[in-house]
A and B are shown apart, each in its own frame.
Chain A
């Protein structure tokens, strides 16, 4: 089955086995190994990516279902040698230990901050409930996302864009 898909800004065309999961396509066909597999049953959230700006579990989506879509993975965050402010925040606050849940957590965090540029700690804690972490107990992840919110609002261009976005709970 044919697939035309844009991933991190690059468009690809492939002929694929329909049962190939989106996460396997990203990892094995495109070599974007940043998105991880933890359970393949939709519980752990490690495989979270953005499809047309919306967080989904890429283990439960067939690659061919992303026909015509724009997919963003963790590899899209950094610009060359510069980390995204969200990544800088996680680094500064030690929001990771083993790093395995981190890509899914980062993509979900991007969405959280997109919808709610100034969340409270409680809001963040609830908003990441679909992403399991076995290492951190979540606390430094929450601190990282709150720190990222500050960084992103302080950025003159980012901040202005975010002010204009709809603010609300997830």
Chain B
């Protein structure tokens, strides 16, 4: 695992990292071109000083250079250009007329800029030369013009002298952003150097005019740093060396009596230790470069997919071999590149002690901060996205959670409160917890606040569990702070925390125990760059829906459709297992020109994607449901950002683009989660509840000999289609590798033949239907088993009231489901029949895998 150490790539003075290089090169190329034109224009202007167009052009060029180099951090170049720009402003406005003197000054400014550009090209910085003379001249000329602007007439000699003295600082002009940019840039760099521990101390020793500057990476630098010798002495030694002295610097210094041997030895040791510090093989790489790499890998993956498709068509063993290898390499590469973007969460936690301390001091509290799992890694973009929410939570804990020291002592606690930050991986997600051992949440106060704020009713509140009640604090417009402190309670509440966490596909939850403390747990995905998504089609356009928002897929047949889709207060709802699910027609919502009967497929059925938007669920009606796949998320440009319905776009396997739906955005746009709708639905549901029948959901499938069979959906984990090649034989048992485990498989047809059948057990692979097996992944008593069936028919809801005793083994009973007699499969019986009594055997398989 590559880790990012701040070992600077050599202690160079370059202000840019590698990724900046490209833009700097472009800046250089463009600026050189501009300067050549400036020469011509200035000379032309000297002949015709009133040429407004040329003046405007010159002004714009200098302005652009100034602005750009400000962003690139070339402060000196910016300063020179800035003063020149001031002067040009006067010229352009006609306050000053271009004369030979001014032209000369401007031309020498062009030369200076050119010189600095050359310096940038050579060394990466705009050089050491100060151009004081030039700046003075330019400022003086500017002042004379500016004075002319005022009523006083010509500038007095003293004034212009003063002006010259103050020339290093450009005249007071509204400070342009680039200037800010420059200073921020410098600060950032300094901070990096200080905290980075990189040996970048050259500047400290810049002797006046000293030809040799001791560099930190060398012995001389260390000696100067430690105050053993002065820089000029080292310069002397270096000169001696240059003149042919073959001895080492240290030896020369000792010989000249500037330093003692022990001091030299100590310095050598420091130097060696430093070399080791730098030794971990890391380099600093620009984020842009990584982003580009990521894009390219994404491209490669697409190309690979195309290649795989292609090679399948041509049944050529050689080609298939190569494309398989390519497949593996591309996958591996993708993983590795993803890893480069991973950063330990400790990077953001490192700022917490300071933040927490400040808050604690301002509230008069004592807080100790503890961290667990600092090294837990997350994608860079996620790290950035959760920084603010986490900071907010930590401040909240100190401000509201932890009590004052006296109160703590009274409560029998330690004076110092504890704030614990924990991070750990679990199930492909990262869990982050912020806990305190403070007073805990006050249920009564939350209840009051929630009722006051109209967030809930007295009646609802009385039915709420503690957890539900505590989670009310995440609702917008909620703040229990009794007084508005400058720490929290500034309108930026927990709802913002939750929104931010949800934006990156995470969830938030709060637990609390009165008197013992509060824990906020956040679960977030490992990465945002590549997400699993469901691809759907609507009006012939494809759209991707992030899997995190997906609850289930429902297909309602035409017959059922009419029965199940109703209108409540003019809005369509679907009756799903006794609940009313508000519906959104994607085609209508996006104003797509499609079929009139939107959402109905060929058979008149309706495809409903059940989605979770915050606390609420709704059904999205689409034309077709395609498949799930991993997609690379790309942001949309500014022009399209304001469309809240889309979270981004992604390039699909065929090179075309699909838009990614923002489920929250869709819900908000359609008004499906508005309060009014909620209330209407609640009323309707109450009405419905009275006549509700105890129904169950069944999965209907075709068993052996096309028998119509069913399983209660609750016992099912997933439906899978396993390719025949994935099914293997282990002893007498069929198994498949499934999600990193071994899944025992039972062929329903053979299980029903009661083992006395003389028919040869087939080998996996001689699958009857060639393509693969339909597998129902079930769970029973904590173990998993896959049941191979012929075909999956449907998912239906039925009370299954009419029952009839079973007529053959492994069938529990027969019942009328959806109007036809259906056999209900008995999973425990199947397991027993297959010689798997309960879970031991399966567990064993899981452990050994």
Partners in one complex: no
Q: Give chain B's interface residues, CB within 8 Å of chain A.
A: none
Q: Give chain A's interface residues, CB within 8 Å of chain B.
A: none
